[in-house]
Amino acid sequence: MDIVAIVDGERREFKRVPCNNTIANFGPDAFVLADSKEAMNSFVSAAYQNSKNIVDSHEKHKQLMVDYGEILEELNPALRADKEKDKAIQTLQEQVSELKQMLVNMANSYEPKTK
């Protein structure tokens, strides 16, 4: 069925709304139509619970990514070698940075001797 409604003072047409459902969901960026407050309450409660479950599983999935990464490194030694090269490069960059800072400190503390 097609429905015409005023939404925020604007005439909107909703085409092909299923008439045998209590809820018509037109996507996360669109809209939801319900034939009762109870149906809308059930829909929003389910959507809330789904989002809560996703948020609650965040830490678990972060750890799973670490675990999967380790498995991938075991299955593909080239990944481990690349990771080790990246760590070595980072260590060298940190050491060069420390040396630069030491040189700056030495240059700043140098006082020429006067006769």
Range of the domain at 22: 3-56
As a whole number of angstroms, the distance between CA 43 and CA 26 comes to 13
Task: Assess whether pLDDT exceeds 90 at residue 60.
Answer: yes
Most confidently modeled of 5-9, 14-18, 55-59, 72-76?
55-59
Integer Cα distance of 17 and 40 in angstroms: 15
Distance (Å) of CA 98 to CA 87, 89, 102, 106, 108: 17, 14, 6, 12, 15
What is the count of structural domains for the chain?
2
What is the chain's mean pLDDT, rounded?
Answer: 86
- Sorting pLDDT into bands at 50, 70 and 90, what band is 115? low
Domain assignment of residue 51, yes or no: yes
User: For residue 18, what pLDDT is reported?
Assistant: 74
Q: Which residues contact 73 (CB under 8 A, 6 or more apart)?
A: 79, 80, 83
> Is residue 86 scored above 80 in pLDDT?
yes
What pLDDT score does 39 carry? 86
Tell me if 115 is assigned to some domain: no
The CB density around residue 24, as the number of other CB atoms within 10 Å, is 19
Last residue of a domain, one of 56, 75, 93: 56
